[in-house]
Amino acid sequence: MENLEQEVVSMPRIGDPAPEFKAVTTQGDINFPSDYKGKWAILFSHPADFTPVCTSEFMTFAHLEDKFNEANCELIGLSIDGLYSHIAWLRTIKEKIEYKGMKDIEVTFPLIEDIKMDVAKKYGMIQPNEDSTKAVRAVFFVDPKGIIRAIIYYPLSLGRNFDELYRALIAMQAADEFGVATPADWRPGDDVIIGPAGSCGTAKDRMEDSEIDCKDWFFCTKKLDKDTVLDKVLKKK
């Protein structure tokens, strides 16, 4: 019976158009995803301002922002705190917090105020069995056409791995640019996976192609030079 009373929230999925919203942020109003057309966007939520794990994450995101921007990707944060709390927290981070060699960190990407949880509910960021009054640590990767391409959720106690967020972004861009897939733990410079025979050549063509390494008919890789990947991905901006 209790379940029947629970509010229905939407959980966007990979491949869905990113749900649209207008929001007030620390950098002015935004229209998502239309303001980000032609760019990748990482929309991420955090549980609350003035909390330690979130502070470590915001400092790390701000520290890495240029790197994400160079890969044609903009960052947008969200919590269900208000604008003045966001402003005070970001000012405290800049003025007082030194962490892992990072200090004087200014967060210049937008942080959405979402007191009514409108955006958080649209994006399935409120997961009541974890916490009904805070957003979990959600990460939505939205591509330049406004399509959700990857989603990662973390619980409140677990700070995100920023190497993985950046790795996932570059891997998805490489997959789009070169029509390949990327294997476990792939990083630029590692071999990539090519599609099944028929999509580009027969199985026999492949076995005879010295640039293709087929471990079996269903598992073929080829080299993709690190500079080729990075030139294409980082110069697309």
Q: Tell me the β-bridge partners of 88.
A: none
Helices (H), 126-225: 162-178, 203-208
Give the distance from CA 151 to its chain's centroid.
Answer: 7
139 interacts with ligand BEZ by CB under 6 A: no
Considering the complex, state which of residue 49 and residue 143 has its C-beta at the smaller distance from ligand BEZ. 49
| Token duo for residue 101 | 């060699």
Considering the complex, state which of residue 98 and residue 225 has its C-beta at the smaller distance from ligand BEZ. 98
Q: Which residues contact 222 (CB under 8 A, 6 or more apart)?
A: 180, 191, 192, 194, 211, 212, 213
* Residues labelled catalytic: 54
Is 40:71 a contact under the CB 8 Å cutoff?
yes
Is 74:43 a contact under the CB 8 Å cutoff?
no
Q: Which residue from 23, 48, 64, 150 is in contact with ligand BEZ, where contact means CB under 6 A? A: 48
Shortest Å, Cβ 21 to ligand BEZ? 23
Shortest Å, Cβ 61 to ligand BEZ? 13
Segment 95 to 124, residues that bind ligand BEZ, using CB under 6 A: none
Reduce the secondary structure of 109-122 to three states and give it as a string.
CCEEECCCCHHHHH
Considering the complex, state which of residue 18 and residue 80 has its C-beta at the smaller distance from ligand BEZ. 80
Q: Which residue from 19, 39, 51, 166 is in contact with ligand BEZ, where contact means CB under 6 A? A: 51
Q: Which residue from 150, 156, 212, 214 is in contact with ligand BEZ, where contact means CB under 6 A? A: 156
Reduce the secondary structure of 52-67 to three states and give it as a string.
HHHHHHHHHHHHHHHH
54 interacts with ligand BEZ by CB under 6 A: yes
Considering the complex, state which of residue 11 and residue 158 has its C-beta at the smaller distance from ligand BEZ. 158
Q: Which residue from 9, 23, 24, 53 is in contact with ligand BEZ, where contact means CB under 6 A? A: 53
Chain positions contacting ligand BEZ, by CB under 6 A:
47-48, 51-54, 134, 156-157
